[in-house]
């Protein structure tokens, strides 16, 4: 392209909605992405997948046209999807590529739009209770909606999607009576206080979390190991599972154990986000929790975590859940001795979640954060798990 060539403002390049792009990736279609964000933003988080080819080239290096070194990396026989943070710069880059003869589209609303994807999937478990899992692919966050009769509970809600939980519960004939967190989250802004604005919804937190200095303006209930919550005719049992945090709790409904950040389907928790100096002792606590509380449960127990990573495999029902027996067979770290477990967990932890200190302060109620700022704070990966390397066997 000749430098300074004007673009035809009347011809808009085709856009693709984030939800449509996600469907294409999930269907196995080969996708090629040109990510036009800065190198730092790209390294922090980007769209990934076995069938996704991707190149990062910052848009500000493309203002005068598409350089030759980028052109050689772009396929001529495949549609290219250009993306940026909000969708504006990607449209400009896509127009430049279209003038070069490429088949191209751009991602509407950019990675901000990608972060708004929130998918509903019901668990296929032996219970009359409706249990649904919400999946947020941009960050790997998982939330659960439990409905029995005309009452509902939400476990680990995200503030950005509170209206969705309320709407879905009402569509299923229920009102949300409990807004439950497994712990004080470090990767996303909790929605428990927003849900409590829904008449009758009760905030529920593990009792040890209260010791971290919660400053809510609303009333909240703390629960301890062995306590029970009632949602319709369903009983939710509280199981104290410290390690990721000192106040970590899991919640059990029949054969389903909602493990928060204690145990994932492809990894275990990192122990350093509450107190970096106490990470070694927290890792020992996590080992004890796993071996004394979780692993002795029946092999058929469905583990329903609060996060998933790119290496996670979906269950047959489309959820990120797994049988406990399958995890003990596939995850080598679950069969190590205590000190070996500790050394492994501490040896190669990923970077901490972006803005985790501000997120924790917000979730404790110590920092006031508006909805827009909250959404920006939690953009990016969750990084609440230990390293994925060597966690699973062959």
Contacts of 296 (CB under 8 A, 6+ apart): none
**Rounded to whole angstroms, how far apart are CA atoms 152 and 138?**
26
CA distance 158 to 190: 5
Contacts of 294 (CB under 8 A, 6+ apart): 241, 250, 257, 259, 262, 263, 324
Q: In the numeric block, which tokens belong to residue 328? A: 């003990």
Q: Is 84 a catalytic residue?
A: yes
CB-CB contact of 263 with 202 (8 Å): no
Give the angle 369-370-373 at the CA atoms, nearest 5°: 85
- Number of residues assigned to the chain: 394
- Could you tell me the two tokens for 118? 């929130």
- What value, to the nearest 5°, has the Cα angle with vertex 100 and ends 96 and 105? 55
Which position among 24, 84, 141, 384 bears the catalytic label? 84
What's the chain's Rg over C-alpha atoms? 22
| Residues carrying an active site annotation | 84
């Amino acid at each position: 392209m000749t430098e300074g060539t004007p673009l035809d403002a009347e011809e808009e390049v085709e856009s693709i909605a984030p939800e449509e792009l996600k469907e294409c990736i999930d269907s196995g279609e080969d996708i090629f992405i040109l990510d036009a964000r800065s190198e730092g933003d790209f390294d922090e988080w980007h769209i990934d997948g076995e069938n996704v080819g991707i190149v990062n080239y910052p848009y500000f290096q493309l203002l005068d046209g598409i350089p030759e070194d980028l052109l050689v990396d772009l396929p001529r026989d495949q549609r290219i999807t250009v993306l940026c943070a909000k969708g504006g710069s990607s449209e400009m880059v896509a127009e430049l590529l279209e003038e070069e003869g490429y088949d191209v589209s751009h991602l509407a609303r950019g990675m901000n739009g990608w972060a708004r994807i929130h998918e509903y999937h019901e668990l296929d478990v032996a219970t009359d209770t409706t249990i649904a899992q919400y999946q947020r692919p941009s960050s790997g966050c998982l939330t659960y909606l439990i409905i029995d009769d005309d009452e509902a509970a939400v476990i680990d809600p995200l503030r950005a999607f509170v209206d969705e939980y309320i709407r879905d519960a009402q569509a299923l004939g229920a009102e949300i009576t409990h807004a439950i967190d497994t712990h004080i989250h470090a990767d996303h802004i909790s929605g428990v206080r927003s849900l409590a604005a829904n008449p009758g919804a009760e905030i529920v937190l593990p009792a040890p979390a209260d010791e971290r200095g919660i400053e809510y303006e609303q009333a909240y209930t703390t629960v301890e190991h062995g306590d029970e919550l009632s949602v319709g005719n369903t009983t939710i049992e509280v199981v104290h599972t410290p390690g990721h945090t000192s106040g970590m709790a899991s919640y059990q409904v029949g054969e389903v154990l909602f493990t928060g950040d204690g145990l994932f389907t492809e990894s275990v928790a990192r122990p350093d986000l509450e107190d970096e100096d106490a990470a070694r002792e927290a890792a020992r606590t996590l080992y004890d929790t796993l071996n004394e509380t979780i692993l002795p449960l029946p092999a058929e127990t469905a583990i329903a975590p609060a996060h998933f990573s790119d290496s996670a495999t979906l269950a047959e029902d489309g959820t990120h859940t797994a049988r406990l027996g399958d995890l003990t067979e596939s995850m080598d770290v679950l069969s190590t001795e205590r000190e070996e477990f500790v050394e492994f967990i501490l040896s190669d932890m990923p970077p901490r979640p972006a803005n985790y200190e501000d997120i924790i302060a917000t979730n404790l109620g110590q920092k006031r954060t508006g909805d827009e700022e909250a959404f920006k704070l939690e953009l990016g990966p969750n990084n609440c798990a230990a390293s994925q390397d060597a966690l699973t066997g062959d």
